[in-house]
Copies of this chain bind each other. A is one copy, B any other.
Amino acid sequence: MIDSPIVKSNPKLLVFVPLFYTVWSDSVLTPSEISVLEGLLTSQDWLSESERKFLLSKIDPANPPGFEELNSWKSTLQQLANQSTAPETLVNLGIRLAALHGNGTVSDVLEKARPTLSKIEASLGFISHEAIFNFQPGHKTITSEQGTHYTFDVDEMARVLDGDQSEIIRKVKTLISDPEFAYVGPGDLDLYRKQVLQWCKFLAQQGYGAMAYPTEYGGGNNMAAYFAIMETLSYHDLSLVVKFGVQFGLWGMSVYFLGTEKHHRKYLKDIGTLELPGCFAMTETNHGSNVKGIETTATYDHTTQSFRINTPHEYARKEYIGNAACHGQMATVFAKLVIDNKDYGVSAFVVPLRDKGGKVLPGVKIKDCGRKMGLNGVDNGVIYFDHVVIPKENMLDRFSSVNDNGKFESPIPSDNRRFFTMLGTLVGGRIGIPRSGNAASKSGLTIAIRYGDQRRQFGPEGGTEVPILNYRTHQRRLMPLLANSYALHFALNYLTHRFVNRKEEEMQEIEALAAGLKAFATWNTTATLQECREACGGKGYLSENRIEILKNDTDIYTTFEGDNTVLLQLVAKSRLSEFRQEFANMNVFTMLNYVADKAKTGITEMNPIIIRNTDDAHLLDAEFQLNAFRYRERDILTSAAKRIKRHIESGMDSFDAMNVAQQHLVEVGLAYVERVILEQFIQQVDKTSNAGCKAVLKKLCDLFALSQLHKNKGWYLEQGYMEGVKTKAIRKMVNQLCWEIRQDAVPLTDAFKIPESCLAAPIAMRTT
């Protein structure tokens, strides 16, 4: 076109080159686009009939410009566009092009035609803007310029995270960075399991296994340190963590908490040194969540002062028992105690499984569970007992025992309460597991965020490619999960502190807290690692980058130590019972206060100004956030209680009523635990003295709070607690916080100080 005789003699026609180039270089020139263009060309009354005809021929789909021609247009335009730094339009560019080849008259004509020409450009809409940038390659964009900045002191943040456990955490990190702890692949089960056992022995030698046991049995008498060890080990291999937890936590703690002094003296030291590897045999094939229903029996024989442990049928075998397939020599076995043909409910017994040489003892049958989704370094097995006789003293008799007359005895008369008290002592597992899971989340996030910070893909036309963490969707995938990992870190520290310093009367609350946090945290781990896998694309699928291993190893965390859905119902029932007590306990005066409180909430929170308040300061106000969480917690609880009551009063069986409300109860549990997490995070922000750390923690806390509110916006809108303008403002603020935190994302994962040899993912390796 540029060199055609018509144009040579009529340079004003060059004004159409940028427009035509744009039309042809767009991926598809559709019939409707063409008809619009035709219409707009026809309406350019400053053109002669023959000029119009010529121009129309240039946008005829049956007769496209040649490859060389299109390219010559492009280079001409690029040259021209590069002479100007200001943003251009296609019409401007065209006028400048025509002016180069024509004279002042051409410019005058075209300036007059500008309005009708601009209509053509407008009809191209978005692509005309893209085209302009095409002609000005290498220009800067806001998206390209974002990057990592260190706005706070990483070491200081690590101190905030580690708190008073920093010393033991440092030691364990040093240990697992040792070449001794080089990873072993899951290909060879046998090799992997042996290595994991070896690692556990190594840790036991350093005194880490017995950390929580009393000093008189070789322990460190430090429960808080034990949890810090579990968590820190989780930066390494999770099979190691679970094997460690089975031996020193489940097996050792069951002897410690369910047994009495004679058991402690006899076993604890050897458990702590791993001289005596053991199992925790509670779950049966037919009874997982419903532990009360287990069918293994421990039948007392007073004449021989012994119990017979028996598996009555195939599906009453103990299943998934860690340490059973290869290494366990003894087990805490949960069984129904039977005396004189009477069933006294579940008790626990120490039962030998193998001799010192590892040979399975007579009457015991063990099968290997085989390959699992993950945790293949742990030797899970199935155990059957065929009338195995154990002496009377092997009963772990803290909560139930058989007296010298062969009669049942217990300090807790109610079967129900005894059962729950017994299980309650084992709540430690529900602290260790979520802490381990959250550590795995941190590993996954460190890998995915470092990768996202370095990996470049796409970019402005002609410019360099952009780190994928600069893309908004990538930020929305990872930043809220980074906030969650911090939020859960502080909440789980709080739970640990409550547990370690517990008083008897707080146990119910601590159990609910542990169950709820376990459920929330382990689901969050699964979601986080899934997102990290996808965020790393094909690289995330390669085993060498370890995200898949982290994901598969921790996947069972949502199931073991209590299925999450079941746990949240326990939390809800505990909340309902507290709620009932609170109400039952109210006299007229407190009742009035309560109503007044609710009314006040109504005035301060539910008034038309507040439900529509979209000010940044308001949305970032911790009081607003916490009030919203509390309101939801309280309202869901109240409505669940009313709903169940209504069903029961209408004659429904209580079992059915609970089932009808089951999903609602899960929400009760979640709303409770979310409020606790936010509360703890806010407290942490308040008490952080270092200004840099405080500022970024405040942002993370805001992101946690607002992304939860965003997730639950349907509920808040239904309640009239917020209006649409406000929930939209929250969404916008979530995006903004993600954008801001992106610069801190790498430093925030640095603060986890995960040993590089543990991360091990090639895509996340630092070259320094």
Interface residues of A (CB under 8 A from B): 24-28, 30-33, 35-36, 64-67, 69-70, 87, 123, 125-127, 129-130, 133, 139, 141-144, 185, 187-189, 283, 286-290, 293, 319-320, 369-374, 408-410, 412-417, 420, 456-461, 465, 470-474, 476-477, 505, 508, 526, 530, 533-534, 537-538, 540-544, 548, 551-552, 555-556, 558-560, 563-565, 576-577, 580-582, 584-585, 644-645, 648, 651-656, 659-660, 662-663, 666, 713-714, 717-720, 724, 727-728, 735
Tell me the complex Cα distance, A555–B648, Å: 45
Tell me the complex Cα distance, A130–B654, Å: 6
Given the known interface contacts A64-B413, A533-B373, A542-B370, the answer about A288 and B26 at a Cβ–Cβ threshold of 8 Å is: no
One of B290, B415, B718 near A727 (C-beta < 8 A) = B718
CB distance from A23 to the nearest CB of B (A): 9
Tell me the complex Cα distance, A320–B373, Å: 23
Tell me the complex Cα distance, A222–B143, Å: 46
Known: A36-B585, A187-B187. 19 other contacts (CB 8 A): A25-B415, A27-B414, A28-B420, A32-B581, A64-B413, A67-B409, A125-B645, A126-B576, A141-B656, A143-B655, A187-B189, A370-B543, A470-B659, A471-B659, A472-B659, A472-B663, A473-B662, A538-B559, A720-B724
One of B372, B408, B655 near A459 (C-beta < 8 A) = B655
Given the known interface contacts A28-B508, A558-B534, A584-B33, the answer about A372 and B541 at a Cβ–Cβ threshold of 8 Å is: yes
Given the known interface contacts A141-B656, A417-B25, the answer about A471 and B662 at a Cβ–Cβ threshold of 8 Å is: yes
Tell me the complex Cα distance, A655–B32, Å: 26
- In the bound complex, residues from chain B placing their C-beta under 8 Å from that of A141 are 653, 655-656
Query: Whose C-beta in chain B lies nearest to the C-beta of A418?
Result: B67
Tell me the complex Cα distance, A372–B580, Å: 52
Given the known interface contacts A414-B70, A653-B139, the answer about A644 and B126 at a Cβ–Cβ threshold of 8 Å is: yes
CB distance from A665 to the nearest CB of B (A): 8
One of B32, B123, B666 near A473 (C-beta < 8 A) = B666
- In the bound complex, residues from chain B placing their C-beta under 8 Å from that of A576 are 126
CB distance from A682 to the nearest CB of B (A): 25
Q: Is the CB of A67 within 8 A of B408?
A: yes
- In the bound complex, residues from chain B placing their C-beta under 8 Å from that of A87 are 651
Given the known interface contacts A565-B473, A653-B460, A654-B130, the answer about A526 and B530 at a Cβ–Cβ threshold of 8 Å is: yes
Q: Is the CB of B457 within 8 A of A288?
A: yes
- In the bound complex, residues from chain B placing their C-beta under 8 Å from that of A644 are 126
One of B185, B370, B653 near A142 (C-beta < 8 A) = B653
Q: Is the CB of A126 within 8 A of B417?
A: no
CB distance from A347 to the nearest CB of B (A): 13
Q: Is the CB of A648 within 8 A of B718?
A: no
Given the known interface contacts A32-B584, A143-B659, A287-B457, the answer about A26 and B417 at a Cβ–Cβ threshold of 8 Å is: yes
- In the bound complex, residues from chain B placing their C-beta under 8 Å from that of A32 are 581-582, 584-585
- In the bound complex, residues from chain B placing their C-beta under 8 Å from that of A560 are 538
Interface-central residue, A32, A408, A412, A526, by most chain B CB under 10 Å: A32
Query: Whose C-beta in chain B lies nearest to the C-beta of A547?
Result: B373
- In the bound complex, residues from chain B placing their C-beta under 8 Å from that of A655 are 133, 141, 143-144, 459-461
Q: Is the CB of A31 within 8 A of B125?
A: no
- In the bound complex, residues from chain B placing their C-beta under 8 Å from that of A582 are 32
CB distance from A607 to the nearest CB of B (A): 18
Question: Can you report 30 A-B residue pairs in the complex whose CB atoms are below 8 A from each other?
Answer: A27-B416, A28-B508, A33-B581, A35-B585, A36-B581, A64-B414, A67-B408, A67-B413, A69-B413, A123-B584, A126-B648, A139-B653, A142-B656, A143-B659, A185-B371, A187-B187, A283-B538, A290-B465, A293-B465, A370-B543, A459-B655, A472-B660, A476-B663, A526-B530, A530-B530, A538-B560, A541-B559, A713-B714, A717-B718, A720-B724
Query: Whose C-beta in chain B lies nearest to the C-beta of A738?
Result: B663
Tell me the complex Cα distance, A62–B735, Å: 57
Interface-central residue, A87, A142, A287, A717, by most chain B CB under 10 Å: A717
Tell me the complex Cα distance, A476–B36, Å: 50
Given the known interface contacts A27-B416, A125-B580, A471-B659, the answer about A187 and B371 at a Cβ–Cβ threshold of 8 Å is: yes
Q: Is the CB of B735 within 8 A of A724?
A: no
Tell me the complex Cα distance, A654–B143, Å: 11
One of B127, B548, B660 near A372 (C-beta < 8 A) = B548
- In the bound complex, residues from chain B placing their C-beta under 8 Å from that of A28 are 417, 420, 508, 577
CB distance from A38 to the nearest CB of B (A): 11
Tell me the complex Cα distance, A133–B32, Å: 72
Q: Is the CB of A724 within 8 A of B719?
A: yes
One of B70, B370, B530, B654 near A126 (C-beta < 8 A) = B654
Q: Is the CB of A533 within 8 A of B548?
A: no
Tell me the complex Cα distance, A651–B139, Å: 14
One of B142, B656, B735 near A663 (C-beta < 8 A) = B735
Q: Is the CB of A36 within 8 A of B187?
A: no
- In the bound complex, residues from chain B placing their C-beta under 8 Å from that of A188 are 187
- In the bound complex, residues from chain B placing their C-beta under 8 Å from that of A461 are 655
Q: Is the CB of A457 within 8 A of B290?
A: yes
Q: Is the CB of A654 within 8 A of B530?
A: no
Tell me the complex Cα distance, A415–B461, Å: 14
One of B65, B125, B408, B577 near A413 (C-beta < 8 A) = B65
- In the bound complex, residues from chain B placing their C-beta under 8 Å from that of A24 are 413-414, 417
Tell me the complex Cα distance, A652–B130, Å: 11
Q: Is the CB of B372 within 8 A of A458?
A: no
Tell me the complex Cα distance, A410–B542, Å: 38
Given the known interface contacts A33-B581, A141-B653, A459-B655, the answer about A663 and B552 at a Cβ–Cβ threshold of 8 Å is: no
CB distance from A637 to the nearest CB of B (A): 13
Closest 3 pairs (CB-CB, A-B): A373-B548, A718-B724, A717-B717
- In the bound complex, residues from chain B placing their C-beta under 8 Å from that of A548 are 372-373, 552, 555
One of B25, B144, B414, B459 near A416 (C-beta < 8 A) = B25
CB distance from A42 to the nearest CB of B (A): 13
Tell me the complex Cα distance, A187–B376, Å: 12
Tell me the complex Cα distance, A187–B185, Å: 11
Q: Is the CB of B538 within 8 A of A288?
A: yes
Q: Is the CB of A543 within 8 A of B372?
A: yes
Tell me the complex Cα distance, A409–B66, Å: 9
Query: Whose C-beta in chain B lies nearest to the C-beta of A560?
Result: B538
Tell me the complex Cα distance, A415–B26, Å: 9
CB distance from A26 to the nearest CB of B (A): 7
Query: Whose C-beta in chain B lies nearest to the C-beta of A716?
Result: B714
Q: Is the CB of A457 within 8 A of B33?
A: no
Q: Is the CB of B727 within 8 A of A714?
A: yes
Tell me the complex Cα distance, A577–B560, Å: 50
